A and B are shown apart, each in its own frame.
Chain A
């Protein structure tokens, strides 16, 4: 999947390479040159060979020389870096818009027709502009093969754009520390042929289809996978950051409402509130402010499916 054999997965690879190889090349030359000069002096002017040192106070010409040459070199380095970065600020007008919704600890990609996917699916050779939205803390969308990354900052409008040039799957990592599961916050870019992408884009299902042996609640489970609920909740009784879903439906819960402890029943009403206003009732023993509202990405219908799924976990 990951290849550095000169394939240019995105439009940034070649400009990155120019800057990287130029700076690295010059640096390696200097590193080797200076190290060997030093070793040679140490060998040649060892006190066994050179009993008395020649006192030299300095040499202004040399000082000027080794100030000016590095300045020129570094200006050239700066130029290559700047030239390679400039295009990142100018997305083409006809770029396809996708919104990336980041939250602890998942990415969700929302398309203009309302389609949602946990994987970034894009057509090859089409400029893609990603609007970066964070629901909670700072994350960073990083696609190593594309040589691009951008921080995702809550409350700020930001974007990144790129041109995928080769079909295939590429890793996405979160590159800004965002808490417990930061290192499991990853996804993939799936670059498809234009035709395949069109077919996928036209599929009516909002969330990618579920496996054949779909039981009750399968649709809800798929939605929750896409939304990243399982980063904090498990279906099997294990406690992560949030309470497990196992046997949750219908039980009595102690919650903190406005600082007071009260007991509630986990019914559809309560679940809906938990998803849309997670900080209204805080389940006792769990941290507040971690789960963020899903108002912008889940419809009433989705929530109904989620409730179906939670119910299904009670029979186990």
Chain B
């Protein structure tokens, strides 16, 4: 299948190993095949979560009951949140594009621990299966929200334990991936690839790896504590047993805030690659980009309290957390400035991935600015737990990570599949998606400002118009999404063959054939120049 005549090695897609058929995939330790395993599982769960989202939005088109009961709605946003957070955006970029590209971008033949890598995919599948099992067993699906706040989570009859345990197993998957990447980056860079010659995407995976390794165990312990409390009645969190519900919130957010950076850092890395490649220009302020990635990972540990401004923490804690929240915004702002500066005096090739990068910058800025509004104490007290927050985090995680994911998809698609896609349909899809996105979530800022709380099945008449508009936005977003995905699948069959470097990129993955051979490099390259050397 490979396009270069001088290469005889079969691509990773054609390679015949010990196993045949499906087993050649689910027993493969090739980082590229594992990446595709992740890609297809994540796409399937994304489709599930997105369908739940669409149905919830339909329910909200009018006050009162439209298509489902309150019980179903509550179960839907719980499942939607768990799937989207733990099974889609946390593993998203690292597990798919990190797995596929990290070894190639640093000039290695695989990750440091290929079997561990496969194991983490199995943990992933087990974790999600547990979450799905919780839906159909016991006394009804869990209805606590993805945050499992105590003490409600101890009162509900919903089947919470398997879901919590599922999230725990998913955490393990995440830890293993992080560990694997850290060791790979430390030990397996090609000769000559000094730390500061490494492209940005591996750098952000490196920062992410540390968060996965250090923060995820906290949620692991917390979830275990819930399980112990529910089964053995040890009072950690439930006041009825002498526990403290606020302790639960602290533990939960000590992980879940840094987790936001697990989602967004690799996204920023991918966007940096795209912008440099299509501007045909070296990344502006490379050192500052590296430093700001590490700064985000570090400061991100100290702001969890901003999720709890109304819970009655001490005044000192409140303003310390508020101040730190404003500071964590700075490294992100630095990144935006550097991306835009990279375009200055570039020679910009307007291809689909670059449009996604522009879309990313735009929605990410909106998400970030709304984060400032939420980080400020006086405004937080009004906006906390309203649709404003819902809009904010969809702009950051769906707008940020989601746009970067689709951008990365269109950027590395030729490398991964060996095919080109139809860019006209891809652009139409993107246009609809972006429009729908802004209508769907932009309206939620307004609804939240007016006072509509989140996790609301039913609402006051004053919120009706906003909800109608928002729901219509979800339809537009969906048509865009459909076009994008169908186009990518159709191009697998009908797309033209991809050359090894369709976009003129400078990083190492563009020096190997598309799709890459099993061992990536015939000969490990020796790196002498920086990652984006166009000179």
Contacts and interface: CB of A to CB of B under 8 A. Distances in A.
Partners in one complex: yes
Interface of A: 1-2, 4, 12, 15-16, 18-20, 23-24, 27-28, 30-31, 34-35, 37-38, 41-42, 45-47, 50-59, 62-63, 66-67, 70-71, 74-75, 77-78, 80-85, 88-89, 136-138, 140, 142, 144-145, 147-151, 153-156, 158, 171, 173-184, 186, 287, 289-290
A142 B382 CA distance: 8
Contacts of A12: 378, 381-382
Given A74-B329, A177-B145, A85 B318 contact: yes
A182 B381 contact: no
Contacts of B376: 19, 23, 77-78, 80-82, 84
A154 B151 CA distance: 9
A25 to B, nearest CB: 11
Given A2-B450, A47-B349, A53-B534, A144 B281 contact: no
Contacts of A59: 284-285, 341
B381 A147 contact: yes
Interface stretch (B159-167, B456-464, B473-481): B456-464
A52 B347 contact: yes
B282 A56 contact: yes
A81 B13 CA distance: 55
A142 B152 contact: no
B327 interface: yes
Contacts of A70: 329-330, 333-334
Contacts, number: 264
B277 to A, nearest CB: 11
Contacts of A74: 326-327, 329-330, 372
A303 B395 CA distance: 51
A289 B230 CA distance: 13
Contacts of A287: 157
Interface stretch (B114-122, B180-188, B210-218, B307-315): B307-315
Contacts of B451: 2, 142, 144-145, 171, 173
Contacts of B362: 35, 38
Interface in B280-328: 280-282, 284-288, 310-312, 315, 318-319, 322-323, 326-327
Interface in B355-382: 358, 361-362, 365-366, 369-370, 372-373, 375-382
Nearest to B358: A38
Contacts of A137: 151-152, 155
A19 B344 CA distance: 34
A75 B326 contact: yes
B240 to A, nearest CB: 8
B334 A47 contact: no
B51 interface: no
B245 A154 contact: yes
A290 B157 CA distance: 9
Contacts of A158: 312
20 contacts: A16-B381, A23-B379, A27-B373, A31-B365, A31-B366, A34-B361, A41-B348, A50-B348, A53-B279, A55-B281, A57-B284, A59-B284, A66-B334, A77-B376, A80-B378, A136-B151, A149-B385, A156-B246, A171-B451, A183-B455
B230 to A, nearest CB: 12
B348 A175 contact: no
A47 B459 CA distance: 51
A84 B377 contact: yes
Contacts of B535: 55
